[in-house]
Structure 1
């Protein structure tokens, strides 16, 4: 595997900004599809991502080392792959049912879900700032989805519920990694092979529902763009930046995906966030940003489980 010079801190920050910009295009691109729907959208995006990521990893590491990492990854690699499969599949399905802003704000809850699951499963103590962030975020979510629960659009409600599995799967994956590390197992810190396997799993899982294919050439071009530019390339870049940045730094920068994603959709489509989404989503972002900023200023960023789930793409 070829070695490259590590990024400087400034380069890592700029890289993460570029990564979030690339992650954020999924919503606006998906709104310009002609004929592809739900499972076919998910299938093509996951399949193209798997092919592109496999090519990048083979070019970067060589086929032999990549195969050995997959072969020797053990249960943790496959459990993480299952989590990625859920994230890839649920994200695109939810995106066809609800608004981009709804889904991105739901996904941003991954750090708080990670903290709660680690508290329940591993006994991690949560600082008061995290409990406060959870309370404020819960209020924001109630503000956002109260109208839906009170008789709003049932389609949006289902999209929100399906989207909720994305941060839950991400939080589960990080908790498994932490449990394995505590137990002294050989847990791979670089989880890009799990991303590759998760993409393959998502493509296989959605193929029956995607058949017969209806995507136009235009659709295939856009979905190929998502598979390569929105997933495969930023995934590799995020791995490089993540080796330099503290977890709260990466989580704070990861919140830019929401800002960019909502802005792209607002400018590139006729989809506008409702006042409830803007108000409740603002509370959620405030809670997350405050929690991670306090962690960074407190100098405990690299060891807190709550931060890691915030930089996962889907």
Structure 2
């Protein structure tokens, strides 16, 4: 039979097999354009983790967290074993998948919905540790640059930084929003410095692309020496951050562990659909390079932040 199948160039029909077995071995992954453009390592890590679990990745791209609903209806046309979402989902969207027996895992997002697991970086704690390190190094006038105002990960990072900096007696905190891009990071930094008459001594950015733009704006548009005149810190540790041109101080997310945990929780949910929701927080690491003067991160303990 195998010889005949090979002679006829026969290929098994995956869709037909999924109908027979009740499993498609396909997992939908929702990503926003921000993740796809500025942190594609997330997608690669999820693809590798799913492949290791003998699953295939079905990519679902959306413009932003707010544009998810219009796309999800089409996703239900596919026989998915599960959904990993790197975008916010409404309670109604989650219910729609659960009603079709498609479990949902949120990636760097949280939900109070029943039977929805989530995995996330310790965004708030990491941001507070940066604020503490900058304050202990003597910085007191901050510029915080986030992504879109309604982007949940950006909001978690910026809000936590501001809260901790205020608690530690910062003299000034200016917060701005961008589209997560290098270009808007550069433009926002230059504009903020002009409005503040240069009265800023540290910049904290919600992602590395913003931070790289801020760094270049300080060096080339504002004529500042980094880190002598100003400290700049990002978040994510994308490949460009470690290049000699930038040497950006930043927070490294363990995207491989995040992806592995997301796939593991999806498997657990498939095996036990009614079990209680679980949230896994993956520790991050502050990577100290040359763009910031910090009080050593090794001497900032969890007791120093609240």
TM-score range (shorter-chain normalised) is under 0.3
**Structure having the larger proportion of residues in strand:** 2
The two structures have a TM-score, normalised by structure 2, of 0.27
**Structure having the larger proportion of residues in helix:** 1
Higher relative contact order (CA 8 A, sep 6+): 1
| Structure with the greater alpha carbon radius of gyration | 2
